[in-house]
Amino acid sequence: MSSSRLQPKPGVMDIDIYVPGKSSAPAGVKLHKLSSNETPLGPSPAAQDAIAVLAGKLELYPDGSAAELKRAIAEVHGLNAENLICGNGSDELLSLIGSAYLQPGDEVVFTEHGFLMYRIVALSNSAVPVTVPETDERADVDAILAAVTDRTRVVFLANPNNPTGTYLPIDEVRRLHSGLPASTLLVLDAAYAEYVRRNDYESGMELAASAGNVIVTRTFSKIHGLAALRIGWAYASREIIQTLERVRGPFNVNALAIAAGAAAMRDRSHIDRSIEHNDKWLTWLTGELESLGLRVTPSVGNFILIHFPDEAGKSAKEADAFLTQRGLILRAVTGYGFPNALRMTVGLEESNQAVVDALKDFLAKAGG
């Protein structure tokens, strides 16, 4: 019998434990939580009603196939339900991709300011994370392709990306796919797809339908306002879906999530209202912050990345402390490679105005 102590798999101890956005304000100050890209408009009332109906039936296991939820997604998005899989948040789907496809030593490619989950998925499967430089805070297809080797099993691309809010047009995504070997899986993480209003953007459903090595992941946590329920979904070839089906837990999506998710998906008017709200305030915030002299990365999502001057008294860290005193909770993004920026979720008018006012005061206090 071995006398050595219990050890996790190689890679696991290299993972930095994920630190979520802050969620509290000082005592007596109104909280404006703008740190996790949650919608300020909340979920569809139909989703809340669906949960109320189920409150008396919590002893029952959910439908392990989440058929009702898949039916709603398939209908609204015009997709084949057999090409769908649902998960406990899209984070779980990213993990399932890792469990199903990654072996020790495989390489996993993603961009330098890419979503933190990609590194976690790679390391938890003893695979090697390979980070690729971005150009102007945007994924660079040539740089990604240059990093691909015959050991690359998975390429993760958040499109639009978090925390930058930048995106790749579908032509660029197709060019990326064309340059990958058929044995490499391209994961298009489209958590913010609903918010994007650009004619050259698509989340990649057609590519996923026609290619055998593309999967698009989506979420109910952002525009649908159901982050608390943990619901994600993905669309890919039958072969990929049937592979992921083998490694998921039998009841990975709970009954409340299935019912509320289906109701939220069908409430188009709530989604349209959310898009309209975001469009208006994203534009307003970008303009106001730029007129304060702050650089903002051009975003197509429901959040913006605000860059601070590299000067004592004006740093992101100091701005964060100043905003927090007023109950304005933004997201520090040092872990994403931006030590001097803060990410702000687009909020209600009152919150957006409060952030602009506070930053005006902050910069004035620091001496213009």
Which residues of the shown chain bind ligand PLP in the complex (CB under 6 A)? 37, 89-91, 115, 158, 162, 189, 191, 219, 221-222, 227, 232
How far is the C-alpha of 208 from the C-alpha of 2, rounded, in Å? Answer: 47
Minimum gap (Å) between residue 115 Cβ and ligand PLP: 4
Of the candidates 241, 204, 255, 216, the one whose C-alpha atom is nearest the C-alpha of residue 50 is 255
Number of helices (H), then strands (E), in the chain? 12, 13
Residue nearer to ligand PLP on the CB measure, 185 or 358: 185
Residue nearer to ligand PLP on the CB measure, 47 or 191: 191
Minimum gap (Å) between residue 160 Cβ and ligand PLP: 8
Residue type, 6: L
Minimum gap (Å) between residue 5 Cβ and ligand PLP: 33
Minimum gap (Å) between residue 227 Cβ and ligand PLP: 6
The residue whose Cβ lies closest to ligand PLP is 89
Residue nearer to ligand PLP on the CB measure, 156 or 362: 156
Residue nearer to ligand PLP on the CB measure, 53 or 247: 247
Contact 47, 226 (CB under 8 A): yes
Residue nearer to ligand PLP on the CB measure, 329 or 363: 329
Minimum gap (Å) between residue 368 Cβ and ligand PLP: 35
Beta bridge partner(s), residue 232 = 87, 219
Of the candidates 144, 188, 195, 169, the one whose C-alpha atom is nearest the C-alpha of residue 299 is 195
Q: 87 — phi, psi (to 5°)?
A: -145, 170
With b meaning 16 or more CB within 10 Å and e meaning fewer, what string describes 166-177? bbbebebbbebb
For CA atoms 132, 121, 97, 194, the dihedral sign is negative
Minimum gap (Å) between residue 218 Cβ and ligand PLP: 8
Residue nearer to ligand PLP on the CB measure, 115 or 362: 115
Residue ranges with strand state E in 102-177: 107-111, 128-132, 152-158
CA angle, 159 then 161 then 167, to 5°: 55
